[in-house]
Structure 1
């Protein structure tokens, strides 16, 4: 894949041609991302090559209830700080090029820089059940004991349902 650049979403970016096959992800980028960013709910980054948006991701602050994950370092804390991947998508024209993994690597690099400024223990994501394999392949775990049989059924019944997943920052 040609070298692309990562840019923070700005009002001048042309978003109309982006299509990742998921209406919710398309709608977020085109209608909600900039307003949410301006109100400090998240920050959205675009992967751009020759003014074509290849993909995007948005990041926001989060936390995990420690009782939901195996956490043996210190039981006096109830929660652990996290960075949430609010959205991650690539355009359908760039499917099969490994762009999703590259965007995840960009996220990891940003998190590694931030963890030297403030505490971050985990990365979280509310993954579409249809995208959970992508996150599993990138060593994300399910929060709580998730029933895989129920996930497979949800994937067929309601592909837009989500499952919460996490990864320890030390495993980047």
Structure 2
């Protein structure tokens, strides 16, 4: 299937027991295993929701979403923390205060569609959908995820996610070595929808 065609014609379907998942094969065995063994179970328990990304009935990838929280102290920009605290106007807002967010629990594209900017186009769509959700249906300001080291720049450079301050030094000095040694090492990232 042509990459441009996929970019213009993909759609989402909520995972159900009728979907055929056996042929899905991303570069991560962890992501493959989750989709095939755990996604539907978690969804049935209302713990997460998995949307398959399809084009003409063919499985291109998937995204799993769930609600979560981020501690206010994990926000890098102190001025944002101060504004949020001021707007909440509560005496109970301390550095451990939890802010609502949506967690992108998993995002994967089948190997055969990688390197064609399909993942980028789909992720832009996911972000736009979440932005609209936050504006019209559900109160949250942050989107969070745990990025594999090998996908770190995909999220930070192209989609404006930022890592926690505690990881700055290690990422700055060692990201390439980390990717080489442990490509599935995870880094917590967040994106502020109000930028």
TM-score by length of 1: 0.92
CA distance in 2, matches of 1:45, 1:123: 17
2:16 matched to which residue of 1?
10
Tell me how far 1:150 sits from its aligned partner: 4.3
Q: Would you say the 8 A contact 1:128–1:160 is kept in 2? A: yes
Please give the per-residue CA displacement for 1:62-82, whole angstroms capped at 9, x wherever unaligned.
111111112231333612111
- Write out aligned runs for 1:126-165 (5 A): 126-137=146-157, 138-146=159-167, 147=169, 148=171, 149-165=173-189
Structure 1 segments unaligned to the other structure (5+ residues): none
Tell me how far 1:128 sits from its aligned partner: 0.5
CA distance in 2, matches of 1:164, 1:13: 31
More helix by share: 2
Which runs of 4 or more aligned residues in structure 1 lie more than 6 Å from their structure 2 counterparts after TM superposition?
A: none
Larger radius of gyration: 2
Please give the per-residue CA displacement for 1:114-150, whole angstroms capped at 9, x wherever unaligned.
2122211100010001110100121110022312124
RMSD between aligned alpha carbons?
1.6
- Write out aligned runs for 1:22-37 (5 A): 22-37=28-43
Q: Which moved more, 1:135-144 or 1:67-76?
A: 67-76
2:84 matched to which residue of 1?
74
Q: Matched residue of 2:30: which SS? A: helix
1:92 matched to which residue of 2?
111
CA distance in 2, matches of 1:38, 1:73: 38
TM-score by length of 2: 0.81
CA distance in 2, matches of 1:120, 1:24: 28
Structure 2 segments unaligned to the other structure (5+ residues): 86-92
Aligned residue-pair number: 171
Q: Which moved more, 1:54-63 or 1:67-76?
A: 67-76
1:106 matched to which residue of 2?
125
Q: Matched residue of 1:73: which SS? A: helix
Alpha carbons of structure 1 residues 74 and 170: separation in structure 2 relative to 1, 3 Å: closer
CA distance in 1, matches of 2:116, 2:176: 26
Q: Would you say the 8 A contact 1:65–1:80 is kept in 2? A: yes
